[in-house]
Amino acid sequence: MSYAKRFRRSLLDGKLELILEAHNGMSARIVEEAGFSAIWASGLSIASALGVRDCNEASWSQIVEVAQSIHDAVSIPILFDGDSGFGNFNNVRHVVKRLSHYGIAGISLEDKLFPKMNSFIAGAQALSSVDEYCGKIKAAQDSKCDCNFTVIARTEALIAGLGVEAALKRAECYHEAGADGIFIHSKAVDGLDVLEFGRQWGKRSPLVVAPTTYMDTPLALLEQAGVSIYICANHMMRASIHAMRKVAGQIRKDNGISAIDSDISSLEEVFSLLDYDELKAAERIYGQ
Ligand code: SPV
Ligand code: MG
Mean pLDDT of 266-277: 98
Ligand 1 atom nearest 21 alpha carbon: 2
Residue 174, pLDDT score: 99
Cα separation, 110 vs 55, whole angstroms = 13
Mean pLDDT of 272-284: 97
pLDDT in tens, 51-87: 999 999 999 999 999 999 999 999 999 999 999 999 9
Burial class (CB in 10 A: 0-12, 13-18, 19+), 259: exposed
Give yes or no for residue 266 having a pLDDT over 90.
yes
**In which band, very low, low, confident or very high, does the pLDDT at 284 lie, cut at 50, 70 and 90?**
very high
Which residues, in sequence order, are bridge partners of residue 109? 153
Among residues of the chain, what percentage have pLDDT more than 70?
Answer: 100
Cα 21 to ligand 2 centre (Å): 11
**In which band, very low, low, confident or very high, does the pLDDT at 129 lie, cut at 50, 70 and 90?**
very high
Cα separation, 78 vs 39, whole angstroms = 5
Does 208 sit in the ligand 1 pocket, CB within 6 Å? no
Cα separation, 249 vs 255, whole angstroms = 10
* Chain centroid to CA 198: 20
Give yes or no for residue 38 having a pLDDT over 90.
yes
Residue 88, pLDDT score: 98
How many other C-beta atoms lie within 10 A of the C-beta of residue 216? 9
Which residues, in sequence order, are bridge partners of residue 209? 230
Give yes or no for residue 139 having a pLDDT over 90.
yes
Residue 160, pLDDT score: 97
Cα separation, 269 vs 273, whole angstroms = 6
Among residues of the chain, what percentage have pLDDT more than 90?
Answer: 99
Active site residue 54: yes
**In which band, very low, low, confident or very high, does the pLDDT at 288 lie, cut at 50, 70 and 90?**
confident
Residue 45, pLDDT score: 98
Q: At what angle do helices 60-73 and 89-102 cross, to 10 degrees?
A: 20
H or E stretch at 207: strand 207-209
Q: What are the sequence ranges of the domains in the chain?
A: 3-234, 241-286
Which residues, in sequence order, are bridge partners of residue 154? 110, 183
Mutate to test the pocket of ligand 1, among 42, 50, 108 (most ligand atoms within 8 A of CB): 42
Mean pLDDT of 239-254: 98
Mutate to test the pocket of ligand 1, among 21, 185, 213, 232 (most ligand atoms within 8 A of CB): 185
Which residues hold their Cβ within 5 A of ligand 2, which is an ion? 43-44, 81
Stated pTM of the model: 0.98
pLDDT in tens, 40-51: 999 999 999 999
Ligand 1 atom nearest 46 alpha carbon: 3
| Among 110, 158, 116, residue whose Cα is nearest residue 136 | 110
- CATH number belonging to domain 3-234: 3.20.20.60
Give yes or no for residue 22 having a pLDDT over 90.
yes
**In which band, very low, low, confident or very high, does the pLDDT at 209 lie, cut at 50, 70 and 90?**
very high
